[in-house]
């Protein structure tokens, strides 16, 4: 039997990048996947390829997030695995950062995971089994300039992870965070471009001097490597692991 046979996994931001890799690895291990993403074409295509389901939703909107929870629960019932992965970055100095952009990022990367956790926990409790994976970042552990909203959200997500873990452990539910460094995705490519412009350097210089400067291993992480860690944390092998924040960061935070 496959590791996740008969398990139903919901992955936000599952159409591209890390989320796509997680959906693929979970599907390969027997899970049925539900993808929620704002990228409609990519989401529909991936769900079709994996025999899963796709839902369009703008998760920066609190009301729309509640509606998509209703829809998933109505059509699928309880889910077994929740992966809060959706996110984006907006690069700005604190004094230039607009409040609407701040609110949007904190909604997507902190409030939305809280909403989804709150809505899907009752079903996990009923089943006495569940896995919640929150995609944080090395920037949930340390700070860098020009990322105030992103870093605040990712730090908060680790706090939510810990609190959830201690509240629901007795129900056979685990909750863990993954904290990657720079992963080779379209989001990272855009971030490299934006920060290079902000710092007035070439993109290759940014990768070498900023993104990988503190890394012991001088390569970008592949999405599949993060997906494999998510897979482990969702399996029976990790049933006693909860409340943790697990780095896959090339040694970035070891200094």
Annotated active-site positions, please? 150
**Close Cβ partners of 107 (under 8 Å, ≥ 6 residues apart):** 59, 60, 61, 62
DSSP state of 209: I
Residue whose tokens read 């993060």: 226
**Close Cβ partners of 20 (under 8 Å, ≥ 6 residues apart):** 14, 42, 46, 223
212 in Cβ contact with 203 (< 8 Å): no
Q: Which of 216, 86, 208, 107 is nearest to 152 (CA)?
A: 107
Which ranges constitute the DSSP H helices of the chain?
17-28, 40-50, 62-76, 99-106, 112-127, 148-168, 186-199, 203-206, 223-234
Tokens, residue 140: 């949930």
Q: How many CB atoms are located within 10 Å of the residue 9 CB? A: 26
**For residue 81, is it left (φ>0), alpha (ψ between -120 and 50) or beta?**
beta
Q: Which of 110, 92, 113 is nearest to 101 (CA)?
A: 92
């Amino acid at each position: 039997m496959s590791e996740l046979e008969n398990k139903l996994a919901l992955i936000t931001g599952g159409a591209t990048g890390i989320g796509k890799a997680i959906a693929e690895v979970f599907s390969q291990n027997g899970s049925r996947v539900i993808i929620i993403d704002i990228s409609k074409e990519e989401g529909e295509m991936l769900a079709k390829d994996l025999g899963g389901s796709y839902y369009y939703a703008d998760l920066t909107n609190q009301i729309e997030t509640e509606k998509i929870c209703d829809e998933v629960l109505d059509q699928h019932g309880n889910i077994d695995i929740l992966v809060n992965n959706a996110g984006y970055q907006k690069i700005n100095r604190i004094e230039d950062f607009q409040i609407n952009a701040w609110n949007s990022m904190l909604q997507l990367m902190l409030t939305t995971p809280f909403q989804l956790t709150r809505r899907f926990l009752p079903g996990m409790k009923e089943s006495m089994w569940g896995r919640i994976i929150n995609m944080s970042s090395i920037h949930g552990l340390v700070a860098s300039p020009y990322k105030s909203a992103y870093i605040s959200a990712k730090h908060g997500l680790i706090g939510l992870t810990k609190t959830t873990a201690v509240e629901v452990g007795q129900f056979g539910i685990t909750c863990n965070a993954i904290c990657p460094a720079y992963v080779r995705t379209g989001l990272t490519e855009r971030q490299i471009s934006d920060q290079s412009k902000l710092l007035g350097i070439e993109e290759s210089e940014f990768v070498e001097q900023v993104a990988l400067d503190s890394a012991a291993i001088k390569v970008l992480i592949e999405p599949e490597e993060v997906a494999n860690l998510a897979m482990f944390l969702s399996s029976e092998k990790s049933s006693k692991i909860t409340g943790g924040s697990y780095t896959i960061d090339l040694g970035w935070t070891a200094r």
